[in-house]
A = this chain, B = another copy of it.
Amino acid sequence: MKTLHVDLGDRSYPIYIGPNLLGNADLLTPHIGGKQVMIVSNETVAPLYIEKLRAGLADFQVQEVILPDGEQYKNLDVLNTIFDALLQAHFDRSCTVIALGGGVIGDMAGFAAASYQRGVAFIQVPTTLLAQVDSSVGGKTGVNHPLGKNMIGAFYQPQCVIADTVVLQTLDKRQLHSGIAEVIKYGLIRDAEFLAWIEARVPAMLACDNAVMGEAIERSCINKADIVAEDELESGVRALLNLGHTFGHAIETGMGYGVWLHGEAVATGMCMAAEMSRRMGLLNDDEVNRIDDLISAMALPVRAPREMDNERFLELMAVDKKAKEGKIRFVLLKSIGSAFVSDDYEPSVLLSTLDSCRSME
């Protein structure tokens, strides 16, 4: 087992990475203050792993709330069912909420923990690659609104994160690939060496090799933890983590939550950001092709859906959090391994990027 520390002063916490950590009472118990534990999971994950998790919680009063599975359920109404469960169980401020699931469960359980009685303890047990390398690290929690993704939420840090590599074996292939998109992202924004490491391990990652995935998770989490420690509330460098996300969120919202997986939309978004960078004279053709090739090799989409015209993209991106007083801001690439935030571009460059990145199929 590997232990990383996210350094955030009195909100610091450890990330445990390794095989068969799920029911390990020695890992969980030190991070639970009271007696009351609410496990938040979904209909897909709970049948596979909730009993294993409960085995590590024998000393506690454990309740569970099982949500429907999917990004389309990440909203205020479904969030309220977590509050219902906590209140019906008479859970008080000393309780702990454990998220057992992917990014949607982590975001919702985390926001419920942040908001229940103005904040109770929270533990992340991410069961998807995406959640292990991204959403479980950094304290972003929240729900979607019909007018925009993740528009309602809180920055709220967990007591610990437990990333069990064995659970990836049961992961749906699309979900696995979606997680790999975020792994690639860390290479693109700040770690060219890691990107080359990934390029050399495409078959092993697609086969979900345990040792390779363990290292991929660790290197991703180190990159993310470094950035989050530097900028907890996303006022600066943390924005780089949004590479591909402005385009990607527009695709997710525009197609309807759950039609495109988050990582699929981000994968395409990264190709679009690379293309926009090329049109601004920052990347050359070879670099853009290298990015497209890696994303394609990981069975991820490189082109935006035909259904979304430029007007729809612009409308959806204008409401995205990365917008600053009207002008849409993008994370762009100076080179592979070096990203920056910019709203200094010609509108025509954005429009031609949208035109050229749309699928013809």
Contact = CB atoms under 8 A, between A and B. Distances in A.
A90 to B, nearest CB: 6
A294 interface: no
Interface stretch (A17-25, A147-155, A257-265, A273-281): A147-155
Interface residues of A, number: 40
A343 B153 CA distance: 34
A84 interface: yes
A312 interface: no
A150 to B, nearest CB: 8
Interface centre among A80, A84, A150 (most CB of B within 10 A): A80
A235 to B, nearest CB: 9
A236 interface: no
Contacts of A233: 118-119
A87 to B, nearest CB: 4
Contacts of A151: 83, 87, 116-117
Nearest to A95: B325
Given A147-B84, A321-B92, A140 B155 contact: no
A150 B94 CA distance: 16
Interface of A: 34-36, 76, 80, 83-84, 87-88, 90, 92-94, 114-119, 140-142, 145, 147-148, 150-155, 233-234, 318-319, 321, 323-326
11 contacts: A80-B145, A87-B148, A90-B319, A93-B321, A115-B142, A115-B154, A117-B153, A118-B150, A118-B234, A119-B154, A154-B154
